[in-house]
Amino acid sequence: MERLARESGGLDVNSRYAYLLWCRDFADTSVVARAGDRMAGFITGYRRPAAPDTLFVWQVAVGPEFRRRGLASRMLGHLAGAVRTRGVRFVEATVTPGNKASLQLFGSFAEANGTGMASDVLFSEHELGSDNGPEVLYRIGPLPGPAVASAGPLPERAAAGPRPFSGSSEPRHRPFEQGDARGPAPD
């Protein structure tokens, strides 16, 4: 995950430790897509404690060789569909104004789900520091029913629970097949 975040060029890169903790503690609100033994993309998110009907999408990353194929859209639709069954009716994310790919992703998701998308500045340039632009909060919803995903194979869902040390810098998962409600687990 750290490698993909770094390759994206636009994400704040967290430590490997942070990503491992994320996969352990927020597995139900995160998703990983794999192509064979390589990680193709991921979305990390969490349910907001003060608004448990809201999924906040923290990071979306897709490997360079997997971009422009709808993978981010499929991951977001899959994740939103999974959390929708547990009462999530809204999806939020912050996006910097120049991030056209993320704006397209979230706008298309709102349209595919037949709902609106509102925006407002969450953190200003002043709050974030002079090297950063504002972070604009996009709120999508309410989702009218199960979230709609684009056609295509389902990505993996990060697995909950403790992971035995594998010596790998990324979490290991077993393949996730369409209709497999278990999600991946560490080897």
Residue 3 pLDDT more than 80? yes
Closest-CA residue to 171 (of 63, 161, 74):
161
What whole-number distance in Å separates Cα of residue 28 and Cα of residue 9? 26
Cβ neighbours around 155 below 10 Å, total:
24
Residue 29 near residue 46, CB atoms below 8 Å? yes
For 74, the token pair is: 């499929």
pLDDT tens digit sequence for 62-118: 999 899 999 999 999 999 999 999 999 999 999 988 889 999 999 999 999 999 999
Q: What is the pLDDT at residue 163?
A: 32
In Å, how far are 37, 40, 54 from 65, measured between CA atoms? 14, 8, 31
Model confidence band, residue 149 (pLDDT cutoffs 50, 70, 90): low
Question: Region 149-155: what's the mean pLDDT?
Answer: 49
Structure tokens at 83: 């959390």
Q: Which of 26-40, 87-101, 172-186 has the lowest mean pLDDT?
A: 172-186
Contacts of 142-146 spanning 24+ positions with Cβ under 8 A? 142/89, 142/90, 142/115, 143/80, 143/84, 143/88, 143/89, 143/90, 143/91, 143/113, 143/115, 144/113, 144/114, 144/115, 145/84, 146/81, 146/84, 146/85
What is the band of 185 on the pLDDT scale with cuts at 50, 70, 90? very low
| Assigned CATH topology for domain 2-157 | Aminopeptidase (3.40.630)
Distance CA 105, CA 113 (A): 12
Mean pLDDT of the region 14-25: 90
Q: Which of 12-21, 102-111, 164-173 has the lowest mean pLDDT?
A: 164-173
Percentage, residues of the chain above pLDDT 90: 55
What confidence score (pLDDT) does residue 146 get? 54
**Preceding amide of 134 cis, omega within 30:** no
